[in-house]
Chains A and B, each alone.
Chain A
């Protein structure tokens, strides 16, 4: 092709390329927008998306009444401030108290932050030996006592160790204030009749 013809052709095609460029950009943003709407519609049908269950507050929080449910995401933090994924406003809880994450076929891992204290089914969880929770497990942090209720269909390889300790909301709590004790270590009412367990 001669250079003159090429120049005419190339100069004419500039508008074609600019138009295609604009079309590609418009289509990209249209795709982004439609996908956003589509995803929003799907998520509206799944109000519990990203969650694995809920903690039921049995007792201990000054602000929330017993029976309050707190949704549990697959992974996150628990503490006394609203910025945490599970905020539990309670004096015994630090601002950022513990990390937790769901592990498939294992359960919910509870990893207390450095220097923080948490009991899972009566056993102390530490950073090196995180606590493992299954359906019905009880978590005690500060004075708050929470029971984990997992959604149906989740697989855990974990069996709750202290089935007899799984508390009913109607049962008065044996675990009073932190540091918390396991049942066998706790003083019996005969030893100290003045110290009744406080809900």
Chain B
């Protein structure tokens, strides 16, 4: 629908963008295939550009949505697969499977936003299920890197807080569009309490910030925003006093070199990798990314900067900015407050998560255990990020329908001579 209405210049800009993305991944995977002389590399050199093309052109034809958003999402996902294939091919294969699942989940989210006119029953189901899901790791979970937020089911590890992200956004968007703030704010408080018990403070910070900013978007009340920010600061100070690992992370952030071969090792290695990459990088497949602990999740941005350079790192940041800009434009173009808040919440979630992790890697803020959306290794993270994009895409598709309806009404007005 949107395709027909887009002007030729917009289409031309889109075609050249997709061509550049395809060329990038073809040359990058071909280079790695030549290094290893492995068939998997050649297969990826053919498959990834093909998937980018199909994902950008075929998917919007079948299910609607926004092409630019899809192009950027596909680029970032494929970049994650590329970096993982270079550093640890086994992770890359898992990531490709998660990408396939993510595409299916994204399609489901687009369809849900397109089809559902009332979310009331779904929300009444979602809220208790979300709380149970968040409580499960406290009973059956395992503690990894100081946080007890993982579940292991049949050899597959799942992070419930990633799934709850989606339901939190839908619940908040619905509550705020219906102006039922207080009852559902209890739901947010319950989620935050469970996350604090899991010691998953990075996700708690994300949930809280997104809820607060969505409240501001719904009401425009600066007082509540200021009060919430003050409350958040108070809670952060309390967390600092209560949790030893928070104190340790703040100390590392302030001076990672004080204990560079122990507690500050991760951050120091990340900073050294970024510095050694320089402006242009050391080259794909070169350097020593494996010396950075958790190079495949939290510190994947440092690996990108080392191999492709700071200029490319800034390009990746600019792509997140473009993605957030597009999401905000879609949210502001929505004619229903529920859809507007949903798209804005999803955009805020992705934008804040990117800021929190890249800020942590660059030593702008203390490091928290969140992943870089679309790029970091992790099935739950990739699938939930693609679901967030699916929600934004669904709203974009609804906006197109509303614009078509407005055009129809304008024509009807003209017919009756108004």
Tell me if B322 and A32 are in contact (CB < 8 A): yes
> A49, B406: Cβ atoms under 8 Å?
yes
Task: Kindly identify, within residues 162 to 188 of chain A, every residue whose CB is under 8 Å from any CB belonging to chain B.
Answer: none
In the complex the two chains form, is A20's CB within 8 Å of B23's CB? yes
Contact B7 A34 (CB under 8 A): yes
Contact of A91 with B by CB under 8 A:
no
Chain A stretch 12-39: residues in CB contact (< 8 A) with chain B? 13-18, 20-25, 27-32, 34-36, 38-39
> Given the known A-B contacts A29-B322, A31-B13, A34-B7, are A11 and B283 also in contact in the complex, defined by CB atoms under 8 Å?
yes
Q: Considering only CB atoms and an 8 Å cut-off, how many residues of chain A contact the other chain?
A: 49
Q: Kindly list chain B residues whose C-beta atoms are within 8 Å of the C-beta of A113.
A: 179
**Number of B residues whose C-beta is below 8 Å from A?**
62
B303-321 interface mask toward A, CB cutoff 8 Å, 1 = contact, 0 = none?
0000011011001101100
Q: Give A52 to B285 CA distance when docked, in angstroms.
A: 58
Contact bitstring B391-418, A, C-beta under 8 A = 1, else 0:
0000000000011001111111101101
* A22 to B: closest C-beta gap in Å: 6
Q: Which of B20, B329, B336 contacts A27 (CB 8 A)?
A: B20
Q: How far is the CA of A113 from the CA of B179 in the complex (A)?
A: 9
Chain B residues closer than 8 Å to A75, beta-carbon distance:
335-337
Contact between B410 and A48, CB atoms less than 8 A apart: yes
A42 interfacial by beta-carbon distance below 8 Å: yes
Q: Return B399 CB to nearest CB of chain A, in Å.
A: 10
Taking a contact as CB atoms under 8 Å apart, the answer to whether A46 and B311 are in contact is: no
Contact between A32 and B412, CB atoms less than 8 A apart: no
Contact of A153 among B319, B329, B403, B413 (CB under 8 A): B413
Contact of A1 among B37, B402, B406 (CB under 8 A): B37
Interface segment, B68-76, B127-135, B362-370? B68-76
**Interchain CA distance A75-B315 in the complex, whole Å:** 39
Asked if A74 and B31 sit within 8 Å, CB to CB, the answer is: no
The answer to whether B316 touches A21, judged by C-beta atoms less than 8 angstroms apart, is yes
- Give the docked Cα–Cα distance between A29 and B409 (Å): 32
CA A51 – CA B206 in complex, angstroms? 35
Nearest chain-B residue to A77 (Cβ)? B179
Among A7, A29, A153, the most chain B Cβ lie within 10 Å of the Cβ of: A153
Per a CB cutoff under 8 Å, which of B16, B280, B315, B407 touches A25?
B315
Beyond A18-B312, A39-B333, 5 additional pairs, beta carbon < 8 A? A7-B283, A10-B283, A13-B284, A28-B17, A30-B13
- Which are the 7 A-B pairs with shortest beta-carbon distances? A153-B412, A10-B283, A21-B315, A27-B17, A31-B13, A49-B406, A152-B412
